[in-house]
Amino acid sequence: MNTRRHLTAAALLWALLGGVSAGHAQPPGTPIIRAGETGSGALTAADPRSPATGNRPFRLYRLDADSGRQYTISLRSKDFDALVRVMSTTGGLTSLLASNDDGGDGHDALLRYTPRTSGPLLIVVTASVGTGTGAYELVVNEVVPRPLVVHPLAIGDSVPGTLGDSSATTEEGTRYDVYQFRATRGRRLVMSVSSVALSAAGRDSVSDSTRPPRLSFGRIVNGAFAAISAVSTARRGDTTAVRPREGAALVRGRSDQLDVPDDGMYAIRVAASTDRPSRYLLRVTVVPPAPPLTTGPRIARVGSVLAATLRDGDPEDDDGDKYHEWTYTASKTQQLTISMQSEEFDTYLELGQGRGRSFEAIAENDDAGDNTNSKLVYRLPGAGTYIIRARALTPEDSGYYTLQVDTAAADARLARARRIRAGALEHGVLEENDATLEDGSWYDEWQYDAVAGESIAITMQAVDAGPTNAPFAARAATDPFSMRAARGQASTFDTFLIVGRMERGRFVELAINDDAVDPDGSTEPDRSRVVLTPARSGPLVIRANTFGPGQGGAYTLQLERGARTADMATRER
């Protein structure tokens, strides 16, 4: 039996419980850790336990601290939820001075403490929940305030930076950088900052636990940063992973807008959200002036940005939602892309015919992507007058909005309908700018020259278009039009296949399929299959579609002559 080990464990437990350890200022055998050092270890079931730690294992370290100096104590672990405590012993009586659970990244603990008197302190390493066992890393540093260095910034520039040893520090030890720029009264600025993670090997390292720095807006007064208003983080969100420079990846970011009160010099403070050195990308841009309110009749024209304000007294639908009606005149069959944007309320778009209570919607959209703006893509069946109803989502909503109608991209897209040959494996991507059906789902059109009486099988399969899909990547390089969305597409979707013919300018449906049936009777939502025997020769139209609106991704399409006996064939009448 190791007598010393058990005597030490008993002394540690006695001290943690607030007992008296006669003849010792600290429990015997306590390891010493100094500022600037890292202590590594692992909590095990054999370590001492205490009711004060929820009967979880704990270990103690001794820090010989100086009064008036600030220390940061960080406890990190991938195995347990870290909890760190600072205690002192005076005359054998143990007192709790400070503690922290999740002050660091994720479930790591970070504690800042300034002792009033010099002398030894006890640092307790334990867990807040669970079994409390596993490896850990204890880091102690002394906070040495560093002077402020103001960096110049030009509006519109993207500035990379590092919150590290060269950054200024607050009295609490928080690292921060300050940038100064000139701004004009009345301008609306967008300030955004994104954290950048870089692995030791120089490769992209994306982590959801990486916290973006905090932003503050102010001025430099007597050589110090003086905040005017802290930037709200209510509109904070994750950024899309992109590469600002070789070897790095934007992982998380926050941004907000503010109006410049007066002409002059202003400053932005970028403050750390973690005790570890961190890299970031800062950008300040000017929001273009809002288009003036449209006067006179509300007529929508292609390419123009229209503006109006929904307010009390405007027409309301049966649900009490305020709306404006814009007239659009089409001279032919064409695909429209209608966008409605507002920073003041949740928008809603409807496209239809008829005015007021006789209005009948043929397409609608609430949210485009991950915001509250609206975007509607629809192929008009022919020439005529259509009504675009721009409204608020709820009766309480109102405010300024913009409306834009476009057809150029849609018409160019429709002009590139593709042909498919028997036996060939074709590739495509369904995305936001594709044609849409009445339910708002996206589709691509393919054409096949059918022969009367010939049985054909058409299979649509959703696929992963990530970098590991070599054939898909090769096709993207040679056919950028058909593969324009292959970048970043790495998930499958619920496919839907429609086969028909164009009769006098109108699509006539012959066969559809949602989920292909396997030989064992099971179905696959990411695969659709139609088997058809055309009654007459001529072009068939194949619509590669999604089951519902907002779905999309990469897919393959294959047409084969002849059908397996297990397939259920459809014969054209």
Q: Domain spans of the chain?
A: 3-143, 150-286, 305-408, 416-571
Position 20 confidence tier, pLDDT thresholds 50, 70, 90: very low
Angle (CA) 198-189-399 rounded to 5° is 120
Query: Does residue 96 contact residue 123 with C-beta atoms inside 8 Å?
Result: no
Q: What is the pLDDT of residue 212?
A: 79
> Measured between alpha carbons, how far is 537 from 551 in angstroms, rounded to an integer?
33
- Identify which has the larger pLDDT, 566 or 53: 53
- Residue 215 near residue 303, CB atoms below 8 Å: no
Does 150-286 match 416-571 in CATH topology?
A: yes
* Per-residue confidence band for 102, with pLDDT thresholds at 50, 70 and 90: confident
Q: What is the mean pLDDT of the chain?
A: 78
Give the span between the Cα atoms of 14 and 4, in whole angstroms. Answer: 15
Most confident range (mean pLDDT) of 113-127, 296-310, 553-567 is 113-127
Residue 53: what pLDDT?
82
pLDDT at 566: 41
Q: What is the pLDDT of residues 424-480, one digit of tens each?
A: 899 888 887 777 776 668 889 999 999 999 999 999 999 876 555 555 555 544 443
Q: Measured between alpha carbons, how far is 139 from 35 in angstroms, rounded to an integer?
A: 8
pLDDT digits (tens, 9 = 90+) for 311-361: 999 999 988 899 999 999 988 877 788 999 988 888 999 999 998 888 999
| Predicted pLDDT at 571 | 55
- For residue 558, which of 522, 526, 530 has the smallest C-alpha distance? 530
Q: Which CATH class is domain 416-571?
A: mainly beta
Please answer whether residues 375 and 307 qualify as being in contact, where contact means their C-beta atoms are separated by less than 8 angstroms: no
- Other C-beta atoms closer than 10 Å to the C-beta of 249 total 21
DSSP 49: B
Tallying the residues shown for the chain, one arrives at 573
Q: Give the pLDDT score at 332.
A: 81
**229: confidence class by pLDDT, cuts 50, 70, 90:** low
Instruction: Please give the DSSP secondary-structure letter assigned to residue 515.
Output: S
Q: Evaluate whether the domain defined by 305-408 bears CATH number 2.60.120.380.
A: yes
DSSP SS3 for 528: strand
Strand partners, 64: 120
pLDDT mean over 6-33:
51
DSSP, collapsed to helix, strand or coil, labels residue 375 as: strand
Band (pLDDT 50/70/90 cuts) for residue 248 is very low
Convert the pLDDT of each residue in 121-177 to its tens digit.
Answer: 999 999 998 888 999 999 998 877 778 889 999 888 888 899 887 888 887 678 899
- Checking if the pLDDT of 92 tops 60, the result is yes
DSSP tag of 356: G
In the predicted structure, residue 489 carries a pLDDT above the cut 80: no
Cβ-based burial of 118 (10 A; exposed 0-12, middle 13-18, buried ≥19): exposed
- The more confidently predicted of residues 565 and 571 is 571
Question: How far from 465 is each of 24, 168, 250, 416, 547, CA to CA, in Å?
Answer: 67, 45, 22, 21, 19
Smallest Cα–Cα separation from 550: which of 337, 352, 378, 368?
368
Q: Give the closest residue to 557 by CA, choosing from 460, 434, 429.
A: 460
**Among 253-257, 351-355, 398-402, which stretch is predicted with the lowest mean pLDDT?**
253-257
CA angle 68, 72, 78 (to 5 degrees): 165
Q: What is the pLDDT of residue 465?
A: 66
| CATH (one of 3.30.1050.10, 2.60.120.380, 1.10.10.10, 1.20.272.10) for 3-143 | 2.60.120.380
Q: Are 430 and 553 a contacting pair, CB within 8 Å?
A: yes
Give the C-alpha separation, 124 to 557, whole Å: 62
The four Cα atoms 6, 10, 16, 19 give a dihedral, to 10 degrees, of -160
As a whole-number percent, the residues of the chain with pLDDT over 70 amount to 77
Given a cut of 80, is residue 287 above it in pLDDT? no
pLDDT of residue 372: 83
Determine if the pTM surpasses 0.85: no
CATH topology of domain 150-286: Jelly Rolls (2.60.120)
| Contact call for residues 191 and 212 (beta carbons, < 8 A) | no
Look at residue 254 in the predicted model and tell me its pLDDT: 58
φ/ψ (deg, to 5) at 301 = -125, 145
For residue 511, the cross-strand partners are 499
Q: Report the pLDDT averaged over residues 241-261.
A: 49
107: confidence class by pLDDT, cuts 50, 70, 90 = confident
